Structure 1
Amino acid sequence: MHKSSRKIVAEVQVHSGLKYPHRLSLYDQPPTEDITIEEFETCAIDRLRVLSEIESCYARNRPFDELKEITHSQSEKHIPLDHNSATTKDRDGQRRKDNTGHFVLRLAFCRSEDLRRRFVKAETTLFRVRYMNTTISERREFHKSGDFDWTLVEVEERKKYASELKLVPDASPEDQYLKVRWTRVPDLVEKRRVLLKDGWAYVPSRELSSIVFQEFQTRLERALAMTAKALPWMDEDTRLEPILANLSQGFIAGVGSEWGANESTGEEIRAEMVDELAHKHFPMCMRNLQENLKRNHKLKHFGRLQYGLFLKALGLSIDEAMVFWRKSFTGYNDDEFNKKYKYNIRHLYGLEGRRANYPAKSCQQILMNDQPGAEDSHGCPYRHFSADNLQTALLSMYSPQGLTEADLPEIMGTVKAEAFHVACTRVFEITHTTQNVAKGDGIGSGETVTHPNQYAAASRALERASGDGDTVMR
């Protein structure tokens, strides 16, 4: 036996005991193990973090090489899948999580044609990146297990069509060919990279990946349609329905950042620092709340809730919060302020009522919950402002930091596509060019904004790294 063949056989023997023997998967077998509600949600959220970044890459028209790099780095962070050679790693555990997360998100994203389309596009991209980062031996074993229903073209048939096969781009006499129905490789047909004969496509083996990618996409589309038909019974489970409804919003709002679990960055700020910090470092939602507060000397309930929790996570202590809100609410005497607002402020800090330690609201919560009315100032400007008001506000708030009218078409394009967190991320990049932030850098490592405190922390960190420091700290 050839040395390389012995190596492949040895790998298969070593890993044949795995429940999930392949790093790649067509997801044709749903998980059968018992899982907790917490695991159900965690597996899906971690996977959605990766898919959401893929969606953001498409919204920003990133080149495929950049998309591939970001997808790989996000996968390594949230849903790593080690190669079969990594015998010291829990490969079955990784693949179990991957499989579970995929099937949970099927339940969340099968609910409408638009969600299914976006889910298929992101999942197919993730599969494609993984396929390209998989070893040749692992691909071979995956191909054998996938029931791809292709036929290897024998020598006699290749001789019969030799003159026509020579016309296939980059053709070589040594090429092997696979024969499939032409409908399974529409991308290759469009590019004229195959020979068509009587409804069959003769595909060079070097183009085999196109068959695999198309098969993955076709099977997933079919599976989502079937899942949608079977979904009504899920409405009876009151534990799962809220989780699935929340997950299905992931492409619009991004995935709730881990910032949501943090109460503070660990750096305290004072009441008199807030206004200058707002002009230098706050995302538009919080800039809008600060400017409304300065102009009207009051905020309605949901505005105080959104802004108060943000400032708390930013590092504003309860004592400084009392000073800040008291100075801002100039239309009240001390007694009126204490009666109307003191209890609510202390409640946000877990000092009254249930004494819960409330986290700051993520972009997803701001976008999807407590929709603002005509006289409210909370919410997300990218979603809740009219197009004209949004453009006017962007120029008013961020022109001093370098945003110009020439930037508006790109920002408004992402808003129109309902990629609101992508629009916010692009504003961050534009307003931080003096700190060497380029288009595509996001708030770091290409990531998009998913939490207002994440935006503010990244902005302040860039200023400190540039040597300027917060001027309000002097």
Structure 2
Amino acid sequence: MFQAAKQTSKIQRHDKDDETLHVENGSTSYRLSLYDQPPLYDVTVEEFETSALDRLRILAEIESSAARNRTMEETKQMTIIQCGKYLPLNSNSASGVDIQAERRKDQLGHFVLRLAFCRSAELRRRFVKAEGTLFRIRYETDDSKERAAFLSSKDFNWISVDADEKEKYEAQLSHFVSNKTDPNAFKNETFYKVRWSTIPDLVEKRKVFLKGGFAYVPGREQASIIYAAFEERLEAALLATSRAIPLVDEETRLNPILDNLAQGFTAGVPSDWVGSGETTGEGITADMVDSLAKQHFPLCMRVLHQNLRKDHHMKHFGRLHYGLFLKVLGLSIDEAIAFWRKSFAGGPGADKFDKEYRYNIRHSFGLEGRRMNYPAKNCLQLHTAHEAGCPYRQLENSPENLQSALLSSYSAQGLTVDDLPEIMSQVRKKAYHVACTRVFEITHPRQVRKGDGLGDGESVTHPNQYAAKSIELEKEAKEPKMEVDN
């Protein structure tokens, strides 16, 4: 389906009066798209993955917004910001941007995610809902002239109600005219007929007139027909893709990518800055870790730290996950050895420590063995870990233990029993990163509001992201404010 080679698409413009952009090989002529034509060009495996990951960042935050009960306006503003960072998509009239590259990435990312999310009814449902919201936001923010051209280019299976039919049902249709004080309002109002089953939201809200199996939709509600058509067609396309997925399963290089993408709604997509093993914070010492853990660590790393202090020992995967987390947080190799040696006090002697643990510590810093500078584990990786993983996931079936862990870890930072029902509701929805994000908001009330996430609308997708942002907010709060002379 996709080849590991690049092929250049062509852009062709008509005369100056036609602002429609025609892009060959699977892209679209408009910013809006029903994604009815798959990409037909060759792509690299890297482009295959990165285009899908960047789109998944947007969709995961849209689903996170729904889980956090954000309003549609709040979701729209967050999505616009996220799209600007990861998935810009400009109108045809835009200048100074590569519209062809934007459309190509948008199309490719959508179709790759179809492969990832078509495999079960639940994944299909969540994908359609998130994509439908993204389409709605783009529709509402689109250039009006280009939007009208897009609508005229597609068949949405509606029937325009003519003057005779309007007159026949004037008594019923006049209730749906927006400006009832205008004597010409009904005459100027446009109505469309569609099968009532395609717009259940308008039927439920009694915003349409029903007759003979059809719903008469006023022009101002036209968008609802379009949103419903988008989701209906996407659902059908996902079912068709699910039947063809065995053909893709033969491509072993793609299976791990698709499997990871399918878990993106559960853990979010890690931010770019945590993609390497390089330190992202300022240098810290072994003696600082206790204080940092009490103030800034997410639950996964805080539990590991508490168990280490209690047991003076930690199993292999715990040492691996916690050691990489501390490394990226800013603990140098010398300080890391000092930290672990002190943490194991009363355990192994100096010789045994050097023999059994020192090598592994140096190995994680890329100083032994293959000499790879390993990155810290992100939330997605911790969700699938059998040991020392995400507590929200691992304690999901032990709610009492999870609530006790939350209270013992965060009560000093303001988390109370009254906060637990909201957090646990996210855990039951398997929105573990949303639950973690809500804990961050509760424990940083002066810096972020409910729904703000880490302060910029993003959810927690990496333990180091949580800790680094918490430390940053504390430093900003302590910095003296500049006084401006009048």
Look up the match of 2:370: 354
Aligned to 1:6: none
Q: Per the alignment, in what secondary structure is the counterpart of residue 179 of structure 1?
A: strand
Cα-Cα RMSD: 1.5
**Counterpart of 1:166 in 2: which secondary structure?**
helix
**Counterpart among 373, 380, 390 of residue 402 in structure 2:** 390
Cα distance in 1 for residues equivalent to 2:337 and 2:352: 14
**Residue 428 (structure 1) aligned with residue 436 (structure 2):** no
State whether structure 2 residue 310 is matched by structure 1 residue 295: yes
Q: Distance in 2 between matches of 1:419 and 1:267?
A: 31
Query: Does residue 207 of the first structure (1) align with residue 221 of the second (2)?
Result: yes
Residue segments in structure 1 that go unaligned for 5+ positions in a row = 1-8, 373-377, 470-474
Which structure ranks higher in relative contact order (CA pairs < 8 Å, sequence separation ≥ 6)? 1
Pairing partner for 2:84 from 48, 58, 76 = 76
Contact 1:45–1:255, Cα closer than 8 Å, also in 2: yes
Matched with 2:473 is 462
User: Following the alignment from structure 1 to structure 2, what is the Cα–Cα distance between the partners of residues 392 and 169?
Assistant: 56
Q: AA paired with 1:363?
A: C
- Which residue of the partner structure matches residue 309 of structure 1? 324
**TM-fit CA distance, 1:456:** 0.5
Residue in structure 1 matching 2:284, options 269, 274, 277: 269
Determine the structure 1 residue equivalent to 2:235. 221
Q: Distance in 2 between matches of 1:243 and 1:124?
A: 24
Provide the rounded CA distance (Å) in 1 between the counterparts of 2:241 and 2:290.
Answer: 50
Matching residue within 337, 342, 366 for 1:327: 342
Residue by residue over 1:328-386, the C-alpha shift from the partner in whole angstroms, topping out at 9 and shown as x without a partner, is: 11211110101111110000000011000101111111112x312xxxxx111111122
Compute the displacement of 1:289 (Å).
0.7
Amino acid at match of 1:340: E
- Residue 86 (structure 1) aligned with residue 94 (structure 2): yes
Could you tell me how far 1:188 is from its partner in structure 2? 1.4
Aligned residues: 454
1:152-173: CA deviation from partner (whole Å, max 9, x where unpaired): 2222222222222112253631
Distance (Å, rounded) in 1 between the aligned partners of 2:319 and 2:199 = 55
Letter of the 1:460 counterpart: I
Q: Which amino acid aligns with 1:354?
A: R
- 2:402 is the counterpart of 1:409: no
Q: 259, 271, 274: which is aligned to 1:260?
A: 274
- 1:418 alignment partner, one of 430, 434, 450: 430
Q: Return 5+ residue gaps in structure 2 as ranges.
A: 1-13, 481-486
Distance of 1:441 and 1:266 partners within structure 2: 22
Quick one: distance in 2 between partners of 1:266 and 1:185?
51
What is the match of residue 472 of structure 1? none
Question: CA contact under 8 A between 1:26 and 1:146: conserved in structure 2?
Answer: no
In 2, Cα distance between equivalents of 1:27 and 1:361: 34
Question: Partner of 1:380 in structure 2?
Answer: 390
In 1, Cα distance between equivalents of 2:258 and 2:270:
14
After TM superposition, give the deviation of residue 299 of structure 1 in Å.
0.6
Q: Residue 259 of structure 1 contacts residue 453 of structure 1 at CA under 8 Å; is this kept in 2? A: no
> In the TM superposition, what is the alpha-carbon distance from 1:60 to its structure 2 partner?
0.8
List per-residue Cα deviations over 1:1-53 (Å, max 9, x = no partner).
xxxxxxxx977613344442100000000000100000000000000000000
Match of 1:128 in 2: 136
Q: Describe the superposition over 1:66-124 as per-residue Cα deviations: whole angstroms up to 9, x where unpaired.
A: 11111111111111111121032111210110010000000000111111111111000
**TM-score of the superposed pair, with normalisation by structure 2:** 0.91
Q: Are 2:44 and 1:36 equivalent residues in the alignment?
A: yes
Q: Secondary structure at the match of 1:411?
A: helix
Q: Which has the higher helix share?
A: 1
Residues 113 and 358 of structure 1: CA distance in aligned 2, closer, same or farther (over 3 Å) = same
**Cα distance between partner residues in 2 of 1:304 and 1:178:** 64
Matches within 5 A, 1:3-42: 13-19=18-24, 20-42=28-50
Q: 2:249 aligns with which of 222, 230, 235?
A: 235
Is 1:194–2:205 an aligned residue pair?
no
Once the two structures are superposed, residues 254-283 of structure 1 have per-residue CA deviations (whole angstroms, 9 ceiling, x without a partner) of 112223224212411011111111001100
Structure 2: which amino acid aligns with 1:258?
D
Cα 1:423–1:286, aligned 2, differ >3 Å: closer, same or farther?
same
Structure 2 counterpart of 1:466, one-letter code: A
Matches of 2:301 and 2:266 in 1, distance apart? 19
State the distance in 2 between where 1:199 and 1:77 align.
Answer: 45
Alignment of 1:274-289 (within 5 A): 274-289=289-304
The amino acid across from 1:163 in the alignment is: A
1:13 aligned counterpart, secondary structure: coil
Q: Is the 8 A contact 2:378 2:463 kept in 1?
A: yes
**2:348 pairs with 1:338:** no
* Local SS of the residue matching 2:113: helix
Quote the offset at 1:196 in angstroms: 1.7
Q: How far is 1:186 from its partner? A: 1.8
Question: Matches of 1:54 and 1:254 in 2, distance apart?
Answer: 10
Relative to the length of structure 1, the TM-score reads 0.93
Contact (CA 8 Å) 2:293, 2:302: kept in 1 or not? Answer: yes
Residue type at the aligned position of 1:416: R
Q: CA deviation at 1:323?
A: 0.4
Taking structure 1 as reference, are residues 14 and 206 closer, same or farther at Cα in structure 2, changes over 3 Å only? same
Aligned-pair identity (%):
58
Q: How far is 1:461 from its partner?
A: 0.6
Checking the alignment, whether the CA contact within 8 Å between 2:447 and 2:473 is kept in structure 1 is: no
Aligned residue for 2:10?
none
The range that moved more, 262-271 or 316-325, is 262-271
Decide whether aligned partners of structure 1 residues 10 and 205 sit closer, same or farther in structure 2, where only a CA change above 3 A counts. farther
Task: After superposition, give the CA deviation of every residue in 1:180-213 in whole Å (9 maximum; x if it has no partner).
Answer: 2222222112222122221222211111100000
